[in-house]
Amino acid sequence: MFDTVVIATDGSGSAQRAVEAALDLAGKFDATVHALYVVDSGEVESTPEDVRDVLERALATTGGRALTFVREAATTGGETEADVVTAVREGDPAPEIRAYADEVDADLIATGTRGRHGDHGFLLGSVAEAVVRSAPMPVLSVRQLEGEANPEREAV
């Protein structure tokens, strides 16, 4: 039923729960997992020029950590439970996620419902919502449980 699963991650707590759920599902169907991180070009372009390079490096670091989390979550006790292909794209996150899923002929996209901007009401779930509304394949959206700590916020 599911041969290829795309996990769109930004490293947030909600995305980490989506990773766990998607890996569990992929394991049941012996599916290949594609972990995707999208550098939001709009976020970069909207920052002052003198800090853009710093922001791009910070986003690249965040992306690397998010993809590492997926690879490590797919490995238990030194044994890989799912094949994981990682990719980084740059652009508008929702269209990039859909395009990547189309390119790899994904059967499912998994994403968190609230990303790194989850504390801002006007951005709450905007990427996840856009993916759910426009993706031609099923989308598994996983929310962060109420009261569950967001590791990204704790590290600050």
Domain boundaries, the chain: 4-155
Average pLDDT over residues 109-116: 80
- Per-residue DSSP letters for 61-114? HHHHHHHHHHHHHTEETTEESS-EEEEEEEE-HHHHHHHHHHHTT-SEEEEESS
Return the residue matching tokens 């795309």.
6
pLDDT digits (tens, 9 = 90+) for 1-26: 899 999 999 988 888 899 999 999 99
The Cα-based distances of 35 to 15, 55, 136, 146 in angstroms read 11, 22, 19, 25
Average pLDDT over residues 50-78: 88
Task: Reduce the DSSP state of residue 40 to 3 states and report it.
Answer: strand
pLDDT at 126: 85
Distance between start and end Cα atoms, the chain: 41
pTM of the model: 0.83
Average pLDDT over residues 126-143: 92
Task: Reduce the DSSP state of residue 12 to 3 states and report it.
Answer: coil
CATH class of 4-155: alpha beta
